[in-house]
Structure 1
Amino acid sequence: MTPLPGGSTREDLTSALRRWTGKPGLVVEDVTTAPVAHRYSAPTTRALTRVRVSARDTAGTVVVRLVAKELQRALEGLPPEIPPEARAYIDSQIPWRVEADVYTGPVRGCLPPGLHMPGLVHVSEGPGDRVTLWLEEICAVDRPWTADDVRRAATGLGRLAVRRRGEPRIEVPHGSFLANFVANRLGRRALPLLADDGTWAHPAMRSPEVTALRADLARLAGRVPALAAGLSAVPELPAHGDATPANLLRPAAEPGVFVLLDWGTSTPAPAGYDVVPLVFGDAEAGTVPPDAVPALLDVAVPAYAEGMAAEGLEVPVERLERAVVTAALLRYPCTSLPLDELEGPPGDGLVAHAREKAAFVRMVLDLEPRLAALSGR
C-alpha cells in the first residue's frame, strides 16, 4: 500500500474511517495518493496530499476521498538562506498549531446555516513538531464569483464571528494576526524597504506606475500607528483571518453552501476583518481586475453587518466600513509590491509583475478619501 502522509499507518486510517463513516466493519483495501498542485505561501504548510481510499464493508465497496494537510513549525519551512537568528525570530512569531486547534475545537459547533468546514476524519501527531489533518475532500464548482456570492458569504462570516464570541481566546504574538502583521511584516520588513532609496532604484520599481506610488506610500507609512489605533472603534471578534474566495469552496452537491478552508490565521480581529480578504483577495491574487473591488465592498459591508445583527450584535454600517477600509490600508499597499523579489535578477517578468501589483496598490490607496468621508459621519 502507498505510504501514508504524516507517518499514519493503515490501522490508524482504518480506525478513523470506521468512526467517521459509522461503518465499524469497514476494511481498507487500497490507498492511492497524489500531491495537490498548490503554491505554499506559508512555511507552516509542509504538504497537501490528495488521498483516495478504496474500502469495503457488508454493503459493498466504499470509496472515500480525502486531503491530508501536514502542518509544521515555521522553522522547518523557512528558506535555508535566512540567517539563524532571523529564522528563530520568525518561528517565534508564527503559531503553527492554530489550524489544528481550530479543527479540533468548538468552531464547528458555531457555524451558521450556509457555512461548513470540511469533515475532520483523523488527526495524527508527529514526528516532532508536526500535525497532519485528514480532511474530507470537497468537490467544488469552479466559476467566477458573483456579487450575490459575496453577499451571502459576508452575511455568514458576520454571523460566525458573533457566534464564536464565547470561545477561549487564541493566544498569538501581538494578540492577533493583524497586529502581528503590522508589527512584523510592515514594521520590520516592508516599511524600512519602502523608505530605502535603493529599493526604488531597482528596475522593477522604476516604471511610472510604480514610481508614482512612492509619495503616497510614504504618507501612509507615517499613518500606520494612527490607523491601527483607530480599529478599536469596533468590537474585537474571532475571525477566520483569510476568507478569500479561494478559501470558500462552493460544493457542487450543496448549492448555496460555502466550505471554509485554511484556518491558520484564525485569531481575534476587528469586527469586519473577514470582509477584507473576501473582497480584496481575488484582486490581490490578480484573478479579478482591481476596479471590481469598490462595488463589492458596497455589497459585503452591509451584508456582514446584517449577519452580526442577526446574532444580536449591532454595529453601524459606517463604522464597520471604516474598520474594513482601515484594515485594507494596513494589509495591502505597503506589502503588495514585489519587495521580496528585488534581490533576484530583474527580468521582464518581474517588471510586468510590479506594474500589475501597482494597479492593485493604487486602487487600495484611492480608498483613503472614502475613509476620510466615513470618519466625518
Structure 2
Amino acid sequence: MVATDALGPAAVDDDELARMLAAHLALDGPAAVRDVEVSEFAYDLVAITTRSRHLVRGTLVTSEGERPFRLFVKVVQAWERSPLFAQVPEHLRAVAAAGVPWRTEPLAYRSDLAHRLPAGLTMPAAIAVRDLDDLSCAVWLEELDVVDEPWDGHRSTRAARLLGRLSGSPRVAPLAGVGGVRFTLRDYRDGRLAHQVVPMLRDDGVWRHPLVADAFDADLRGRLLEAAGRAGELVEEAMALPHLPAHGDACPNNLLAVRGVDGFVLVDYGYWMPMPAGADLGQLLVGDVQTGRAPAGDLAGRDAAHRAAYVAGLREEGCDVPAEVVARGHALHHLLLTGLSSLPSEHLGAEPSPALTALARDRAAIARFCLDRVDETATG
C-alpha cells in the first residue's frame, strides 16, 4: 500500500515523494521518507474547480539527518468534472466550461511569479505541479502556518496598497497572462451573465421569495434590471479601460496571515489574469460580506480608503493610471461581477433563519453600493 493512497489519482509512492522533496530542497545524495500521514483538509466554501484538498506530513531522511515535512496537496480540475456541472443545461455546457479557466492556477505555480511579487506579498512554495490527465492537475505546496488575524482598517488598507503594487509592478506585468486564457468581461457577459444572472433578475418568482422581498425593495429591483439592460455597454466601457495584472479573487480568505511572514500570502490563482485597473478591490471589500463572515458596515468609507491605498501602491511601482480611471474600472467590474449577481439565489431553498435574513440584507447593501459607485463615477 502506498502511503499517499488517500490522495486518489494524485497519489505518489514513497520514492517519488522523496525525490520531489529532495529536488525542491536542492539536496545532494539519497533521500527517503517515513511516517507519512495523509489527512483531508477541511474547507467550508464550494469551489467548482477543486476536487480535493489534503495535508501530507512525514519525515524526510537524508545523509545530513532527518527533517519533518508538511505539505498541502490540492487537485484542481475542469468545471465539467464537478458534480455541480450537472445543474448546467446541456445546451449551455460548452459555454459554461469555457468560462472557468481552471488551468491558470497550476501555470501560476509553475511560473516564477513568487520571485516577482512586491515586498509584502508572497505565495506558497510549489513543491511540484503534476498533470494527472487533460482535465486535472495536482499542486503540491508547502503547508502554511496560518494565523487568525482580524481584518481591521489598517490591515485591509495595507492589503489594498499591496494589491496596487501588484497591479502596477513592471516585474509582475510579463506574467499577467501566464494562464494563457483569453477570458474577458465579454466572455462573462455572454456566458454567466446572459444565461444565469439576467434571467434570474427577470424572474418574478425569485423576487417574491421572502428572503429576497424583505431585503431587495422595488427601487433596488428596478435599478438592477436597468443596469442589467445596459450590461453590454458597461462591459465595452470597461474593456476600453487600462488592464493590469490582477489576482482575480483577492478576498480576505485568499490573503493569508502566516506565522513568520511580514505581509500576506496570496493563494488561489484560478482567476489570475489582466483585468480593469482596480478590479481586485471588489472582493477585498465584500468577499467576506458575500459569504456572511462579516457585516456590510460602511462600504463607502472602507472602499474610499482602499482606493486611495491602491492608487498609492500603483504610484510606488511607477504606474500612472489616473485615480479616476481606477475608480471607474473598479466600479464597473464590481457591478458586473458582483452587484448584478447579489441575489442570495443559492439560499432560496434553505429554511429561513436570522443569519440568512442578515445575509440577504447585506447582499442588498452590496448591490446598492455597486450601483451607486457606477453612477458616481460616470462622466459626461
TM-score (norm 1): 0.89
- Is 1:259 equivalent to 2:265 in the alignment? yes
1:165: which partner in 2?
173
1:46 positional shift? 0.5
Query: Contact 1:337/1:358 (CA < 8 Å) preserved in 2?
Result: no
- Is 1:36 equivalent to 2:41 in the alignment? yes
DSSP 3-state at the match of 1:359: helix
Q: CA RMSD in A?
A: 2.4
- Which deviates more from structure 2 when the two are superposed, residues 133-142 or residues 179-188? 179-188
Alignment of 1:1-377 (within 5 A): 1-3=3-5, 5=7, 6-24=10-28, 25-79=30-84, 80-163=86-169, 164-167=172-175, 169=177, 170-172=179-181, 175-176=183-184, 178-207=185-214, 209-212=215-218, 213-232=220-239, 234-254=241-261, 256-342=262-348, 344=349, 347-349=351-353, 353=356, 356-376=359-379
Change (3 A) 1:180 1:115: same
TM-score (norm 2): 0.89
Unaligned runs of 5+ in 1: none
1:235 positional shift? 1.0
**1:46-74 Cα deviation digits (max 9, x unpaired):** 10111112222344331111110101121
1:376 positional shift? 4.8
Identity %, equivalent residues: 31
Change (3 A) 1:45 1:193: same
Change (3 A) 1:371 1:44: closer
1:167 positional shift? 3.1
**Count of aligned pairs:** 370
- Equivalents in 2 of 1:190, 1:20: separation in Å? 44
Change (3 A) 1:236 1:315: same
1:181 positional shift? 3.0
- Equivalents in 2 of 1:331, 1:337: separation in Å? 12
Change (3 A) 1:355 1:91: same
- Equivalents in 2 of 1:371, 1:85: separation in Å? 33
1:372 positional shift? 3.4
Change (3 A) 1:364 1:291: farther
- Which deviates more from structure 2 when the two are superposed, residues 62-71 or residues 154-163? 154-163
Change (3 A) 1:7 1:129: farther
Change (3 A) 1:99 1:279: same
Aligned amino acid, residue 357 of structure 1: A
- Equivalents in 1 of 2:174, 2:365: separation in Å? 39
**1:137-171 Cα deviation digits (max 9, x unpaired):** 11121021122222222222222223322237344
Change (3 A) 1:117 1:227: same
- Equivalents in 1 of 2:369, 2:121: separation in Å? 32
1:124 positional shift? 1.9
1:352 positional shift? 5.5
